Structure 1
Amino acid sequence: MFDLEIGELHQKNVGPHTLWSFSVTFDSERFTVLLAWLDNFRGDLSILIHALTGDDVNDHTKYTYWIGTPVPLDLSRLP
């Protein structure tokens, strides 16, 4: 429906994420439509949306948007 890149389902903690996760990569042109769709269909899931600037700390702190209840991140796992 959105022609997105879907990442692997991580059934373990990966990077700073303290729960299982998977990634969906999209560009800024799809942001508004995808955000509305995620908000409508996420159920009780918490969704972290963050930038991919190459600076993992800032991408997971400054450049984030949560849909649902934020989940604590373990930033000590980042370089």
Structure 2
Amino acid sequence: MNEDTMEIVGFHAHIYFDTDSRDVAARLREGLTRFEVQLGRWHDKPIGPHPQAMYQIAFLPAQFGQVVPWLMIHREGLNILVHPETGDDVADHTIHSLWLGEKLELNVEFLR
């Protein structure tokens, strides 16, 4: 896909947690109800390319300016992957992504 014609059709944010931070993740999830986002299922074990328990939120490009700054301020130490949806899963999760907190090692081979 030509970088100049690449279109971002949406964004995902993956909220990572463990047994000690699940309550924090639940508080963050409750706060996200203020936005028109799609809240994904809780995954209490690593799934797909994700190395840790997590849930996903999906939102439109027009919401980026509200959702991502809110996550920055309210993440309470949780690690969050934010990536676009362009149709190139590998690039979206790696070179096009941004991290709030620690950058975790993804299983990129799963996306190939």
Using structure 1 for the length normalisation, give the TM-score: 0.91
Q: Which runs of 5+ in 1 are unaligned?
A: none
Give the counterpart letter for 1:77 in structure 2. F
1:39 aligns with 2:72: yes
Aligned match of 1:23? 56
Give how far 1:32 is off.
1.2
Bigger relative CO (Cα 8 Å, ≥ 6 apart): 2
Aligned match of 2:19? none
After superposition, the C-alpha distances for 1:20-69 in whole angstroms (9 at most, x for unaligned) are 11110011111111111101110010100011222211111121011111
Show structure 1 runs of 4+ deviating over 6 A.
none
Q: Which runs of 5+ in 2 are unaligned?
A: 1-33
Q: How many residues align?
A: 79
2: CA distance, partners of 1:54 / 1:20 = 24
More strand by share: 2
Aligned-residue Cα RMSD (Å) equals 1.1
1:63 aligns with 2:96: yes
Q: Percent identity?
A: 35
For the pair shown, the structure with the greater C-alpha radius of gyration is 2
Using structure 2 for the length normalisation, give the TM-score: 0.66
